[in-house]
Structures are given as structure tokens and as C-alpha cells.
Amino acid sequence: MNHIIIIGRLTKDPELRYTPNGIAVGSFTVATDRPYVKDREKETDFIPVVVWQKLAENCANHLKKGRLVAVEGRLQIRSYDTQDGQKRRVAEIVASNVQFLDRGKEGQAEQQNDDFGGINLDDIPF
């Protein structure tokens, strides 16, 4: 079983690109604190996330640096060769669902449709 869920804040605005076939692909990084305290200091992990198609477009249109999100998906570890011939490995989450857990800077809750899998933030007391 390969299933992962994280909650954290975006470290910068999402990046949106399109493949040569016109498929949307987005990426962003989520900062999440580890669930334990070492010497009374929290440690933070910075986890790369990849989103595809409509989900990528929705994230690019509605998320900004600092927004709180829940990401659900699978862990993917891939390898590639750099231009100078070195082999690199990357671990990232390929998201199947991203939920916006806070309000945008304008103070308005953003409601997502069922295709996105989001939640109506007006129903949550903040």
C-alpha cells in the first residue's frame, strides 16, 4: 500500500506548466512539522508535491505561499541523470487530492467543486 497524507503550508506559490501534449502539471512544496520535539525545537520537513490536470490548474489559481493545505496521494521516488551525467533521485508526493484548509488573504473562503475534492470553508468555524 502506498498512501500518504500530509498537512502543512506552501513555501511558495505553485508552479504550473503544460506537457507538449497540453496536460497541466503543477508543483509546490509543503512545509510540515515533525510530530516530535527534539531538544524543545521543532523540526520541519519540506515535501515536494506534484499535481496533474484540473487539480494542477485549481492549485495554481487558488493557492499562494503560506496557505494551509492537506495533501493526499502516493509517494513516488524517481531517478534522472543531470546534464553533467550524475544520477539523482527525487522523492515527491503525487497528489490525488488537495484540500484548502484556511482562508485566502482576502478573508474569503474558497469553495471548491466536487471534481476538485475540496471542502466548503464557510462550514468550518475558524
User: 4-8, 22-26, 46-50, 122-126: which range is least confident on average?
Assistant: 122-126
Grade residue 124 by pLDDT with cuts at 50, 70 and 90.
very low
- Per-residue pLDDT of 89-122, as tens digits, reads 999 999 999 999 988 765 544 433 333 344 343 4
Look at residue 21 and tell me whether its pLDDT is greater than 70: yes
- Per-residue pLDDT of 52-91, as tens digits, reads 999 999 999 999 999 999 999 999 999 999 999 999 999 9
Give the architecture-level CATH label for domain 4-116.
Answer: Beta Barrel (2.40)
Amino acid at 103: R
Give residue 38's Cα distance to chain centre.
Answer: 26
Closest alpha carbon to 26 in 34, 13, 17? 17
Domain ranges in the chain?
A: 4-116
